Amino acid sequence: MRRVCWIVALALAGVGLAHAQAASTGSGQAWPVKPVRIMVGYVPGGGVDTTARIVAAALTEHWGSQVIVENRPGAAGNIATEITAKAAPDGYTLLVGASGQMTINPVILPKHPYDTVRDFAAITTLAQFPMVIAVNPSFPAKSIAELIALARAKPGELAYSHGGATHQVAAEMFNHMSGMKMLVVVYKGGFPALVDVMGGQAQVNLGSLIQTLPHMSSGRVRALATSGAKRAAAAPDLPTIAEAGVTGYEANNFWIIGAPAKTPPAVINKLSAEMTRYLKLPETLKRFEAEGVETDILTPAGVRRMLPVEIAKWRNVAKMANIRTE
């Protein structure tokens, strides 16, 4: 994760972002002229937080105006997301949001406090990456087919460990589409969920490829398959879940950066253009792929098209798997 974030920093720092100062808030005033805050819905040290801090440091350096990361963990990321949704639409409050916050919370949490499509102005995706199913090296199943057979033979006895809403719903979709029933055990974060599998306290982990990849290389976990539509460039010998026999299965994580709805288009477009340009540098793309990150960076319009599709997909999954969260 540190290596991925270093790549983001290098890409953003490589070319000046100072031109973004020419953007206007709509009142004719240059932007930014005061500190900008980036909201993060998770504790410091995780992937979303670390990436937000790298982006904030790069923007601070090149704008000459301070950009501050503000952590507001809790409620599956909803606290920070709601604060951003209700902030003044002046370009001075941004959000780095994970896929769970933006597309899954709205369909599994009752009395959801924001509408992802209505209440946010999308800027770009910072990263997209598949998940991976991994087990302890001593676990008897050595393939997805063997895992499914074992789970079917022991209904309700095996369990996934996971650390987020995206992983929970992806696990339930795997249950449903494979015709098995594994329990889903929620952890406070993706890394603790993975650690327990490495230590043998949990059986199967469904987590991000970024987080799992180093432990696959060291042999501390055995990966069975990735969750994307195609094989991951960082693990080309590893089949997708769909290839391994669960036809049609596809689930990905992503991180986006956005702002409150009605933020001036000049600010949104300038931020999107500058970030997209630098995140697509050839050296950045190469290193991203080596770390397990899919660099399909979207424009604001692309993000706006993607979000309703993802929300509808996960709503259907939650309904068919009877997922309810208190």
What pLDDT is attached to residue 288?
A: 65
Please provide the DSSP assignment of 104-149 as one string: IHHHHSTT-S--HHHHEEEEEEEEEEEEEEEE-TTSS--SHHHHHH
pLDDT tens digit sequence for 245-279? 999 999 988 889 999 999 999 999 988 887 777 67
Tens digits of per-residue pLDDT, 124-153?
Answer: 988 888 899 999 999 999 999 999 999 999
**pLDDT value at 189 more than 80:** no
**15 pLDDT more than 50:** no
Average pLDDT over residues 66-84: 92
Q: b vs e for 229-267, b when ≥16 Cβ sit within 10 Å of the residue's Cβ? A: eebbbbbeebbbbbebebeebbbbbbbbbbbbeebbebb
Predicted pLDDT at 188: 75
Judged against a pLDDT cut of 60, whether residue 13 lies above it is answered with no
At 290 the pLDDT is 64
Tens-digit pLDDT profile for residues 236-249: 999 999 999 999 99
What pLDDT, on a 0 to 100 scale, did the predictor assign at position 324?
Answer: 63
Average pLDDT value for residue range 64-76? 90
pTM: 0.79
Place of tokens 């253009």: 273
Q: What domains can be seen in the chain, in order of their start residue?
A: 2-128+253-320 (3.40.190.150), 130-226 (3.40.190.10)
Averaged pLDDT score across all residues of the chain: 85
The residue ranking higher by pLDDT, 143 or 162, is: 143
Q: Among 166-180, 203-217, 310-324, which stretch is predicted with the lowest mean pLDDT?
A: 310-324
Task: Collect all residues with Cβ–Cβ distance below 8 Å to 25 and sequence separation of at least 6.
Answer: 31, 90, 91, 264, 266, 267
pLDDT at 292 over 80: no
Q: Look at 297 and 230; give whichever has higher pLDDT.
A: 230
| Segment 296-304 mean pLDDT | 88
